[in-house]
Amino acid sequence: MVEKKKELLYWAQRTEEAGLCIPKGGNFSLRDRESGLILMTPSGLDRSNALPEEISVLTLAGKWIDGNKPTSEYQMHLAVYQEREEIWAIAHTHSRFATVLAVWEKPIPPIVYEVLMLGGEVPVAPYGRPGTDDLAEAVRRTLKKSDVCLLAKHGVLAGGSDCGDAFLKALYIEETASIYYHALLLGQGVEPPRLSLEEVKAWKYPELEKQKDNLT
């Protein structure tokens, strides 16, 4: 369990260093594959000096059993794990361009191939006050068919197969949001051309065979 706590802290720190959230902003969690317990960054944690023993530990039902008091948005994390058994880690960030779009409740359309990493259009979960059942249920409904979403008036949530995967998806969301934002500026508010989901899903790595070295 200690190693899992260290892993969670590592990726939470990486997310802050990447500029996806400011100090003490956002929150992160993972589901331990052996115990099924949920490890979560605590409320108001200074990630730069955090210790593994400070990481909050909860049951899937929401019982706090170890570590510091969990983030006030713990219900949102638990709702995702309860709904999606294949999600093992969550990154919740407040990255700049994605949050601008979230303020306007504007989904990110498939305009570049990077959306393949995100499953297509990035949807927006309806507004719910942070730390409430309303937000948790809004996210639960939205993530029935997507691993990622914007949170209306709030930020970003990305679920993944592990912490690194959730981190990478959060990065891709911000990158794609920035491209979309600037495309709208360049087009003076006109929506940029979109890739069809069929086109995005049709992409595959080109055939390539490794050639044996004939040098003797």
Higher pLDDT, 22 or 212: 22
What confidence score (pLDDT) does residue 82 get?
97
Share of the chain above pLDDT 90, in %: 80
125 located within any domain: yes
214 located within any domain: no
213 located within any domain: no
Which residues constitute the domain of residue 166? 2-201
Q: Indicate if 73 belongs to the active site.
A: yes
**15, 167 in Cβ contact below 8 A?**
yes
What confidence score (pLDDT) does residue 49 get?
87
100 located within any domain: yes
pLDDT > 90? residue 62: yes
211 located within any domain: no
What confidence score (pLDDT) does residue 135 get?
96
What confidence score (pLDDT) does residue 114 get?
82
Query: CA separation (Å) from 192 to 138, 150, 186?
Result: 28, 20, 9
What confidence score (pLDDT) does residue 215 get?
56
pLDDT > 70? residue 129: yes
What confidence score (pLDDT) does residue 109 get?
94
48 located within any domain: yes
210 located within any domain: no
pLDDT > 80? residue 212: no
User: β-strand 148-151 against 124-125: which pairing, if any?
Assistant: parallel
Model confidence at 166, in pLDDT bands (50, 70, 90)?
Answer: very high
CA pair distance 127, 209, nearest whole angstrom: 50
What confidence score (pLDDT) does residue 213 get?
66
Give Dmax over CA atoms of the chain in angstroms: 69
For the chain, what is the domain count?
1
Model confidence at 2, in pLDDT bands (50, 70, 90)?
Answer: very high
CATH number assigned to the domain comprising residue 26? 3.40.225.10
pTM: 0.91
Model confidence at 116, in pLDDT bands (50, 70, 90)?
Answer: confident
Residue 70, classified by CB atoms within 10 Å of its CB into exposed (0-12), middle (13-18) or buried (19+), is: buried
111 located within any domain: yes
**What mean pLDDT comes out for the span 100-117?**
91
**27, 8 in Cβ contact below 8 A?**
no
Q: What angle do CA 201, 110, 12 make, to 5 degrees?
A: 95
3, 73, 85, 207: the catalytic one is 73
